[in-house]
Structure 1
Amino acid sequence: MMGVIVNVGCGALINEKELVKCLVRGKIRGTGLDVFENAPDVPQELCVLENVVLSLHKLFTPKSCKNALKIVIANLKVFFSNEPLLSSVTDD
């Protein structure tokens, strides 16, 4: 049984040259990556293989940034009104 490698954490975890060799030789069934060893550069060999899924690594999307900004603004309003915060970070 061949494995599939998924890396969404850190590009340096995977040696992409060796990964390509293993994918081509059939030692690894497939891979899914959204981080790359030398980001933003992605090896062309990975881009053309049928058993590879590539994605952009996005910690923040425009929608998540807008939502975070709404929470910050709402918390500032209640803070300056001496009301309890809507969301807070504690040491608990």
Structure 2
Amino acid sequence: MVNKKVLLALEMMGIIVNIGCGALIDEKELVKCLVRGEIRDISLDMFENAPDVLQELCALENVILSPCKLFTPKSCKNAIEIVIVNLKALFSNKSLPSPVIYD
């Protein structure tokens, strides 16, 4: 549904909110538009071939990927463990094993 024609019609001010499934957006065309500067930024939490994410999307700085639909009890437990390890390191004046860096 969201193909090259739709992406180009959005221009630089367009915003896509996908409340359906990842397959609604042609990710290969999306990458081309992002690289050429035809679309400024994109944030996705749904992927065309979930759970696999197109590697070209991962390499772009103007892309935010948030696989919130892929959370499982195990992934949540792992995230909590990472937070605990980071907090222990922080309060022990050690470097963080998994820092979050904000620009």
Bin for the TM-score computed over the shorter chain = 0.5 to 0.7
* RMSD between aligned residues: 2.2
Q: Distance in 2 between matches of 1:35 and 1:41?
A: 10
Report the structure, 1 or 2, having the larger strand content.
1
What does 1:5-84 align with in structure 2 at a 5 Å threshold?
5-58=16-69
TM value normalised by structure 1: 0.58
Q: Distance in 2 between matches of 1:19 and 1:28?
A: 8
TM value normalised by structure 2: 0.52
- What residue ranges of structure 2 are gaps of 5+ in the alignment? 1-10, 74-103
Aligned partners of 1:7 and 1:32 also within 8 Å: no
Max radius of gyration: which structure? Answer: 1
With over 3 angstroms needed to count, the CA separation of the structure-2 counterparts of 1:48 and 1:57, relative to structure 1, is same
Report the structure, 1 or 2, having the larger helix content.
2
Quick one: percent identity of the two aligned structures? Answer: 77
| Runs of 4+ off more than 6 Å | none
